[in-house]
Structure 1
Amino acid sequence: MDCTDGLFENTPFSLKDFYLNFYFRAVHRAVNRLTIPDYNASTAVDVRQELDLRIGAAFTRFQTLRLRRVFPQALSDQLISYGSCQFPTLGFVVERFREVDQFVSEPFWRIVVTVSRDEKTTEFQWQRGRLFDQDCCRAYYEHLHQNRYGQIVEVIKRPKTKWRPTALDTVELEKLASRKLHMGARYAMQLAERLYNKGFISYPRTETKIFPPDLDLKSLVRVQINDSRWSDFASRILEHGPNPKNGKSSDKAHPPIHPLKVGDSLQGDEARLYELVTRHFLACLSADAEGAETIVRLCIGKPTLPRTFNSSLSTANLLTSEDGELFESKGLMILALNYLEVYIYDRWAEKDMPVFQLGEWILPDNIQILTGQTCPPPLLTEADLISLMDRHGIGTDATHAEHIETIKQRLYVGLEQNKFLVPGQLGMGLVEGYDSMGFEMSKPNLRSEFEADLKFQSSRGNIQCRVASQMHISIYCAVSLVLR
Structure 2
Amino acid sequence: MNVLMVAEKPIVAEEIANILSDGKCSIRTERNGCSVFEYNANFRGKSANFRVTSTFGHMMCLDFPEDYQRTETDPDKNMRDFLASEAEDCDFLVLWLDCDKEGENICFEVIDAVWQAMNGTNGDGRRFMELVFRARFSAITEKEIKNAMSSLARPNIDESLAVDARQELDLRIGCAFTRFQNDYFKNKYFELDKNIISFGPCQTPTLAFCVERHDEIVHFKPQPYWLLQAEVELPGSGGGGICRTLKLEWCRERQLNRGVAQTFFNKVKNCTEATVSDLSSEEHQKEKPDALNTFELLRVYTRGCISYPRTETSAYPDSFDFFAALRELAKMPKFRESVDQILSDGILKPKGGTNKGDHPPITPKRVPSWLNEGCARVHEYIVQHFLATLMRPCKYLTKTVKFDIGGEQFQFQCRVVTDPGFTTVLNWLAVAQDQTMADNAPIVGQRIAIKKVDMIERMTAPPDYLTESELISLMEKYGIGTDGSIPTHINTIYVRKYVTVEQNRQLVPTKLGIALIHGYRRVDPDQTLLSMRMNVERQMELIANGEADYATIKKQTIQDYHDKYIHFVKNIRVVDVPFAEIFTAKVDSDTFKFRNYRSSMKMVETSRPQRLFCPKCKNEKVSKLHGAALSFTGCAFCKQHTPER
TM-score band w.r.t. shorter chain? 0.7 to 0.9
> Which amino acid in 2 is paired with 1:461?
A
The corresponding residue for 1:113 is 230
Are 1:51 and 1:473, in contact at CA under 8 Å, matched by a contact in 2?
no
1:89, distance to aligned residue in structure 2 (A): 0.6
Which 10-residue stretch deviates more, 98-107 or 135-144? 98-107
Q: Which residue in 1 is equivalent to 2:10?
A: none
SS state at 1:473 partner: helix
Q: 1:315 maps to which residue?
A: none
Matched, 1:23 2:109: no
The structure 2 residue matched to 1:339, chosen from 394, 418, 422, is 422
What's the counterpart of residue 223 of structure 1?
328
Using a 3 Å threshold, how does the CA distance of structure 1 residues 146 and 425 change in structure 2: closer, same or farther?
Answer: closer
Greater Cα offset, 468-477 or 457-466: 457-466
Partners of 1:272 and 1:32 in 2: CA distance = 34
Q: Whole-Å Cα distance in 1 between the matches of residues 358 and 522 of structure 2?
A: 43
Shift of 1:400: 0.6
Which whole-Å CA distance do the structure 2 matches of 1:280 and 1:464 have between them?
43
Q: Tell me what 1:196 maps to.
A: 301
How far apart in 1 are the matches of 2:563 and 2:229? 57
Q: Which moved more, 1:107-116 or 1:75-84?
A: 75-84
Following superposition, the deviation at residue 17 of structure 1 comes to: 5.3
Counterpart selection for 2:196 from 79, 85, 101: 79
State how 1:427-442 maps to structure 2 within 5 Å.
427-442=513-528
CA distance, structure 2, for counterparts of residue 32 and residue 239 of structure 1: 35
Match of 1:445 among 531, 538, 545: 531
Q: Equivalent residue for 1:137?
A: 261
Where does residue 114 of structure 2 map in the other structure? none
Retained in 2: the 8 A contact 1:223–1:262?
yes
Q: Which has the higher contact order (CA 8 A, sep 6+)?
A: 1
The normalised TM-score by structure 2 is 0.63
Q: Deviations over 1:343-379 (max 9, x none)?
A: 1332321113342323545553432222322222111
Stretch moving more, 362-371 or 10-19: 10-19
Residue identity in the other structure for 1:2: D
Amino acid at match of 2:567: V
Distance 1:420 1:193 in 2: 26
- Give the whole-Å Cα distance in 2 for the aligned partners of 1:247 and 1:26: 26
- Determine whether 1:284 maps to 2:389: yes
CA pair 102-398 structure 1, distance change in 2 beyond 3 A? same
**Across the two proteins, how many residue pairs are aligned to each other?**
442
CA contact (8 A) 1:85 1:395 kept: yes
Query: Is 2:99 the counterpart of 1:3?
Result: yes
AA in 1 matched with 2:308: Y
1:163 aligned to which of 267, 287, 294: 287
Contact 2:280 2:401 in 1 (8 A): yes
Aligned match of 2:454 in 362, 365, 368? 368
Report if the CA contact (8 A) 2:392-2:421 is conserved.
yes
Please give the secondary structure, in 1, of the residue aligned with 2:422.
helix
Q: Deviations over 1:300-351 (max 9, x none)?
A: 33xxxxxxxxxxxxxxxxxxxxxx3322221211223232222133232111
Q: Percent identity?
A: 30
Q: Give the Å deviation of 1:91.
A: 1.0
Distance in 1 separating the partners of 2:210 and 2:320: 40
Is the counterpart of residue 256 in structure 1 residue 361 in structure 2? yes
Instruction: Choose 414-423 or 194-203, whichever is displaced more.
Output: 414-423
What are the within-5 Å matches in structure 2 for residues 282-431 of structure 1? 282-301=387-406, 324-352=407-435, 353=437, 354-362=440-448, 364-417=450-503, 419-431=505-517
- Would the aligned equivalents of 1:64 and 1:80 in 2 still touch at CA under 8 Å? yes
- In structure 2, C-alpha distance between the alignment counterparts of 1:5 and 1:376, rounded to whole Å: 41
What residue ranges of structure 2 are gaps of 5+ in the alignment? 1-96, 109-128, 237-242, 573-645
For the 8 Å contact 1:225–1:231, the answer to whether it is kept is: yes
Distance 1:454 1:422 in 2: 32
**Mapping of residues 27-42 of structure 1, within 5 Å:** 27-30=145-148
Tell whether 2:560 aligns with 1:472. yes
1:124 to 240, 243, 248: 248
Taking the TM superposition and a 5 Å limit, the aligned residue runs for 1:41-60 are 43-60=161-178
How far did 1:464 drift?
A: 5.3
**Cα distance in 1 between the residues matched to 2:251 and 2:535:** 43
C-alpha distance in structure 2 between counterparts of 1:264 and 1:3, whole Å? 26
What SS does the corresponding residue of 2:255 show, helix, strand or coil? coil
- SS of the residue 1:345 aligns to: helix
- Give distance in 1, aligned partners of 2:194 and 2:463: 36
- Supply the distance in 1 between the matched residues of 2:487 and 2:213 (Cα, whole angstroms): 19
SS at match of 2:423: helix
1:96 aligns with 2:213: yes
**Structure 2: distance between partners of 1:416 and 1:360:** 51
Displacement of 1:403: 0.5
Using the alignment, how far apart are the partners of 1:137 and 1:77 within structure 2?
56
**C-alpha contact 2:105 2:160 (8 A) present in aligned 1:** yes
Larger displacement relative to structure 2 (390-399 or 5-14): 5-14
Name the aligned partner's letter for residue 99 of structure 1: E
Q: Which amino acid aligns with 1:280?
A: H
Q: 2:104–2:156: 8 Å Cα contact kept in structure 1?
A: no
Deviation at 1:437, TM superposition (A): 2.9
- Is 1:269 aligned with 2:374? yes
* Aligned match of 1:179: none
Q: Secondary structure at the match of 1:273?
A: helix
Partners of 1:201 and 1:40 in 2: CA distance: 28
Structure 1 residues not aligned, in runs of 5+: 174-188, 302-323
| TM superposition shift of 1:483 | 4.0
Distance in 2, Cα, partners of 1:87 & 1:193: 27
User: Secondary structure in 1 aligned to 2:292?
Assistant: coil
Q: Which amino acid aligns with 2:198?
A: S
Q: Which amino acid counterpart does residue 85 of structure 1 have in structure 2?
A: C
Shift of residue 32 of structure 1? 7.0
CA 131–55 in structure 1, closer or farther in 2 if over 3 Å, else same: same
Q: Which residue of 1 aligns with 2:180?
A: 62
Residues 404/22 of structure 1: CA separation in 2 closer, same or farther (3 Å cut): same
**Match runs of 1:168-179 below 5 Å:** 168-170=292-294, 173=295
Distance (Å, rounded) in 1 between the aligned partners of 2:191 and 2:269: 65
State the AA in 2 paired with 1:20.
Answer: S
| In structure 1, distance between residues paired with 2:251 and 2:105 | 56
Report deviation, 1:144.
Answer: 2.2
Paired residue secondary structure (2:450): coil
Does the 8 Å CA contact 2:305/2:367 hold for their aligned counterparts? yes
* Structure 1 residue 433 displacement after superposition: 2.4
Q: State the Cα distance separating 1:249 from its structure 2 match.
A: 1.5
Whether the aligned pair in 2 keeps the contact of 1:80 and 1:410 (CA below 8 Å) is yes
| Deviations 1:29-68, CA, capped at 9 Å, x for gaps | 5467766676655544443332212111111211222222
Q: Which has the higher strand share?
A: 2
Letter in 1 for 2:325: L
User: For residues 459 and 370 of structure 1, do their structure 2 counterparts lie closer, same or farther at Cα, with a shift above 3 Å needed?
Assistant: farther
CA distance in 1, matches of 2:251, 2:369: 51
- Check 1:152–1:6 CA distance in 2 against 1; reply closer, same or farther (3 A cut): farther
Deviations 1:145-182 (A, max 9, x none): 35665543432223222222211011xx4xxxxxxxxx
Counterpart residue type for residue 83 of structure 1? G
